[in-house]
Amino acid sequence: MHFTVEQALAVYPLSEGKLVAGTSGRSRIVRSVNVMDAPDITDWIKEGEMLFTTAYFIKDQPQEAAELLFKLNQRGSSALGIKLGRFWDAIPDNLIARADELGFPLIELPYEFTFSDQMNGLFREEMKRNTGVLQDVLDKQIRLMRFALKSENMSELFDAVTEITGYPIAVIGSRGQMVHNESDVDDRELLANWPWPQPQKWMKSAKWQAFRVPLMKNARCTGFVLFFNPQLFLSSPEESLYLQAAELISYHMNMKYEDYFELSAQKDFGILIKRHLKNGLPITAVIEYADRWEVDLLQQSYVCVLTAWQLENGRSPRADKIDRLKTEFLSHTRLQRLKGLHMVMDEGLLSIFPELGGVPEGEIEQAISACFHSVYSDIDAMPMAAFSGRKKKPEQLLEAFEECKHSHRLAAEWEAGQLIVKFETMDLALLFEHVSKERMEAFCNRWLGGLINRDPDYAGEMLRTLEAYLEHDGQLNETAKKLFIHRNTATYRIEKLSEILDVDFKKMNDLLRLKIAFMFRKLLNKNG
């Protein structure tokens, strides 16, 4: 039997009774029901047992009755039901007070029904519920197997498991990378205690709970699936359904991701694109192949992304790191839904994402960032993703690739310190990268000299304020957050800077000149 006290009180004829005290314990689990007819019942009580009594052996000892509640609570009893009218006309006040103090449910049983009537009502309800659960689980198992026989897409499989079980799931790979997460819980919170022990068990926090099942292949754990079920307990049939769903996920997960997400036509298409970008193959050959095999990746607006680590001593990133990065991109559900094509290049991993209808603005950047944080625990170990501008024609593919390379290089040279950079934010750096050192110094002195020549501590603080203000496009609230200062403090400093530098922050030209001055300072400081 698995009821809460509150659920048990909704079952006829126990529903004719009344919870008179200990309401804070109404979520206690009732596992069995028994009749209390001896004073030493506390020696035999089982955890989760609800007791019924006429109060015969405590009718003349209300003080000992209060002590009895304390012992029942210690032994894990779920509730005590007292039938009035035989020996007590009312439950003593001290007993009610003690039950409220312990949070121990105290029930006034209906006089017109026998104990067996109430126990039989609970047993009938339990049988009815179990029959319903078995039928529901059977139906879900049939739906799971039907889907497994026709499914060719991992993302659809995850969605189907969520829809059939009725609860969101999260899937974690063998290295602790987040493959899929439909819950409201942040990836980093879920993976906080990784690695996990292999046995299935509940994971719980103050705001969520999930039933964790390992994904197995040949007696080896290759990941986990979490079922975010808020119920207090699982029946055996429900638990077996989760185990079956985990086996299904494991089977598909342990097949090569390329078998799922890179059909042969796409692989060949990727090879042609690489030949176009690196060896001068005419774009017409790429377009002809796309038309023949109905690959519409370049027939709509698209954006290119070059993902790689910052180069050291001019060397290209190691091929094994890029291969692993490609695998992570292919296995990340959020990136899969964007229908991108990923190719390993000498410079890094090149991805082409079509601008799909219905995809929110910024979704590509957010998905890549989420993938980075699920794979790499240290932000310093994460690669950088450089975005091209938006392109509308296949003939612009080489231009997009060059923009990605320029953005990656300039972000490293100008020490942008970001995981995601866009060409549209780096084009000023590209425009001014050949300006002489002397001209840069003269420009900085012209626009920042009034501040740089002041007290070093004061100048440093004000320069940091100005830089944050420019980075956040003149938004004072964001500037204050960045610097951990009050908005009024930020406002005062900006007004003071306007006076010292003789600039008007409402004029776009002045803001642009200051932004350029900071770009020059970064390059001058880097080059010594």
Residues 378, 271: one domain? yes
Examine the domain organization and report whether 267 and 416 are in the same domain.
yes
pLDDT of residue 353: 94
In a domain, 131, yes or no: no
Q: What is the pLDDT of residues 445-498, one digit of tens each?
A: 888 888 888 888 888 899 899 888 888 878 889 889 888 999 999 999 999 998
What are the backbone dihedrals phi and psi of residue 147, each rounded to the nearest 5 degrees, phi first?
-70, -40
Q: What is the pLDDT of residue 116?
A: 87
Residue 478 lies in a domain: yes
Residue range 113-166, pLDDT digits in tens: 888 888 888 888 877 776 665 566 666 666 666 555 555 566 777 888 888 888
* In a domain? residue 118: no
pLDDT at 259: 43
Q: What is the 8-class DSSP label of residue 9?
A: T
Q: Give the residue with greater pLDDT, 62 vs 26.
A: 26
Predicted pLDDT at 188: 87
* pLDDT value at 80 more than 70: yes
Give residue 270's pLDDT. 87
Alpha helices in 85-114 (DSSP H): 93-102
Q: What percent of the chain has pLDDT over 90?
A: 25
Q: Which amino acid is located at 96 in the chain?
A: I
Is residue 229 a part of any domain in this protein?
yes
Residue 4 · residue 28 · CB < 8 Å = yes
Given 240, 255, 270, which residue is the final one in a domain?
Answer: 255
Q: How many domains does the chain have?
A: 4
pLDDT for 261:
38
State the residue range of the domain holding 100: 3-113
pLDDT value for 143:
62
pLDDT at 379 over 50: yes
Query: Is 484 inside a domain boundary?
Result: yes
Name the E strands within 102-174: 106-109, 169-173
How much of the chain exceeds pLDDT 70, in percent? 86
Judge contact between 317 and 408, C-beta under 8 A.
Answer: no
Residue 120 lies in a domain: no
